Structure 1
Amino acid sequence: MSKGKEKEKAVASLIAGATAGGVEAFTTYPFESLKTQLQFASTDGKRPTPYGLLRETLAQRGLKGLYAGCTAVVIGNAAKAGVRFTTYDYFKNLLRDDEGKLSAPRSMLAGLAAGMAEAVIAVTPSETIKTKMIEDSKRSQPQYKGMIHATRAIVAQEGWRGIYQGVVPVMLRQGGNSAVRFTSYSTLKQLVQGSVSPGQTLPGYITFGIGSMAGIITVYTTMPLDVVKTRMQGIHAHAEYRNSFHCFYRIISEEGVLRLWKGTVPRLGRLILSGGIIFTTYEKVYPIVATALP
């Protein structure tokens, strides 16, 4: 493949991935908000259910309460997905064998590299701002007036290090997420394509279903990393935890191992939809963008 074609493919992956990420983030954000609130619930003595927390949030703060921190996540998710698909395609092509095939272990390695890249470039800053804004929104007098104000306040109070709070668990989570999700999706897609005519494009509902299954597998595999990540990005994390390993130890010793799967239900709801939406949107947008490029 010529360098020009490779560049066009990278640009198409970036645009299609960013579009898919933005659509997915806005659509599924209420699940993300509930998951984050549930993961903080044990630190304030409450033990709410997802449904109970949903009713409480809507009653006290309305729909706006469910979308606290959404702007940061939509922007971050668009950037994240763009980086994810671009880097995954790059490493996937790099790791193909002489026949152009990509084994499951190599697909996992490509996904791991993509996850690490997106964690550093896009995910950690947006996740930190989102997490702090959700926790702050539950106060009687929230201090953050919006994403830009929150970013300025965090930098003023904690420096740029505050924006990258929890970068280690984010890298571990995103690396694990992408490795598991892309491998699951690729493997399931190959199995399904083996039962259809060669060259036949899979219908959108089948792509959605495969993506959703990949999302389910991803949730249960990586949930502990997500809980540690959320705790490490809280407003008072720097005063409570020395590092990610100390956070992990405290959760297990003080709250029990099962607390590492707190927030599974709303995260499961999000990633089932997320996997379906993001892969379906990407598969539909990519050929349009690739064809439109000069």
Structure 2
Amino acid sequence: MSPKGKEKEKPIASLMAGATAGGIEAFITYPLESLKTQLQFGAPSGKKLTPYGILKDTIQQRGIGGLYAGVGAVVIGNAVKAGVRFTTYDHFKSILSDDQGKLTAPRSMLAGLGAGMMEAIIAVTPSETIKTKMIEDSKRAQPRFNGMVDGVRQIVREEGWRGVYRGVGPVMMRQGANSAVRFSSYSTLKQLAQGSMAPGTELPGWMTFGIGSCAGVITVYTTMPFDVVKTRMQSLEAKKEYKNAFHCASRIIKEEGVSKLWKGTTPRLGRLVLSGGIVFSVYEKVYPVAASVLP
């Protein structure tokens, strides 16, 4: 989201800034993503799982590296995802904004929804599927995947390319909702903050980080059920367990209770609070630089 008002956005600058922000954010916050995913799988033995318990067990059994199983797919996917997200959001924003470059909350939500759908199809589904399967595989006594490339090769050989796109429906719903809520929250909070400052004054870095973090909190609680269903649909045994996303959601509610749809909220909240702050802060700093050096 460029601070350039109604001035035409530069797609390549948006892509570069978004990809940089996404890659940095993914690597920094990945351990929280790993904990969230493991919580959403649940425990076959029925024992109670906690973020601290999973963190302790993972480090004891597999070392710090165990928290980074599948990180390559997510860093690459997140860089592409964020690049696509900001590029498409800036495009929709330029179409929907008024003469001063401002968006109403509903229009910002619509622009975010479109950006989220695009990123889900292009980048998020494959990277999330690979990440989820690799995290689940890493918990086995004898993991089958020897790194990301080998994991992708085995998934494609056993399930075809559709296996990499498993769960695309809930991913589209989650990403559409994520981006709609996150961008509209961020835009609204940013405009409120700028309204209290002198015209033309740039927001300080700490305020950008704080606004992005607040947008992350709002996003987590409103979109968590989509995330839980997405994780289950991308598990190694999903094709045997669930017919579709609606069947998956109904089974979770029926067999485990409605509250299970918010399982993993704590680590995801931690990740998206950091993610919102990091992504928007890095993007707002990188975009002007990229725009100034690109034609």
Q: How many residues align?
A: 289
Between the aligned partners of 1:241 and 1:46, the Cα distance in structure 2 is 23
Aligned to 2:283: 282
Q: Deviations over 1:155-211 (max 9, x none)?
A: 000000000000000000000000000000000001111111110111101000000
Q: CA deviation at 1:43?
A: 4.9
Aligned to 1:46: 47
Q: CA deviation at 1:48?
A: 1.2
Aligned to 2:81: 80
SS at match of 2:42: helix
Letter aligned with residue 107 of structure 2:
R
Aligned to 2:167: 166
Q: Bigger shift: 42-51 or 112-121?
A: 42-51
Aligned to 1:16: 17
Q: CA deviation at 1:99?
A: 5.4
Q: Deviations over 1:214-260 (max 9, x none)?
A: 00000000000000000000000000000000000000000000000
Letter aligned with residue 108 of structure 1:
M
Pairing 1:189-204 to 2, within 5 Å after superposition: 189-204=190-205
Q: Which has the higher helix share?
A: 1
1:230–1:43 distance in 2 versus 1, CA, 3 Å: farther
Letter aligned with residue 215 of structure 1:
G
**Gapped runs of 5+ residues in structure 1?**
none
Over the aligned positions, Cα root-mean-square deviation in angstroms equals 1.2
SS at match of 1:267: helix
Pairing 1:5-154 to 2, within 5 Å after superposition: 6=8, 9-43=10-44, 45-97=46-98, 100-154=101-155
So what's the TM-score if we normalise by structure 2?
Answer: 0.96
Between the aligned partners of 1:24 and 1:59, the Cα distance in structure 2 is 26
> Residue 254 in 1 paired to residue 255 in 2?
yes
Between the aligned partners of 1:43 and 1:227, the Cα distance in structure 2 is 17
Between the aligned partners of 1:121 and 1:172, the Cα distance in structure 2 is 14
Letter aligned with residue 95 of structure 1:
L
Between the aligned partners of 1:169 and 1:287, the Cα distance in structure 2 is 34
Q: CA deviation at 1:45?
A: 2.4
Q: CA deviation at 1:96?
A: 1.9
Letter aligned with residue 225 of structure 2:
P
SS at match of 1:258: helix
Between the aligned partners of 2:213 and 2:141, the Cα distance in structure 1 is 37
Aligned to 2:3: none
Between the aligned partners of 1:21 and 1:74, the Cα distance in structure 2 is 7
So what's the TM-score if we normalise by structure 1?
Answer: 0.96
1:119–1:43 distance in 2 versus 1, CA, 3 Å: farther
Between the aligned partners of 1:161 and 1:100, the Cα distance in structure 2 is 40
Q: CA deviation at 1:293?
A: 1.2
Aligned to 2:272: 271
Between the aligned partners of 2:178 and 2:252, the Cα distance in structure 1 is 21
Between the aligned partners of 2:137 and 2:192, the Cα distance in structure 1 is 45
1:59–1:184 distance in 2 versus 1, CA, 3 Å: same
> Residue 242 in 1 paired to residue 240 in 2?
no
State the identity %.
72
Q: CA deviation at 1:41?
A: 1.4
Between the aligned partners of 1:101 and 1:218, the Cα distance in structure 2 is 21
Between the aligned partners of 1:9 and 1:211, the Cα distance in structure 2 is 22
1:72–1:141 distance in 2 versus 1, CA, 3 Å: same
1:44–1:127 distance in 2 versus 1, CA, 3 Å: farther
**Gapped runs of 5+ residues in structure 2?**
1-6
Q: CA deviation at 1:42?
A: 4.4
Q: Bigger shift: 35-44 or 195-204?
A: 35-44
Note if contact 2:17-2:83 (Cα within 8 Å) is conserved in structure 1: yes
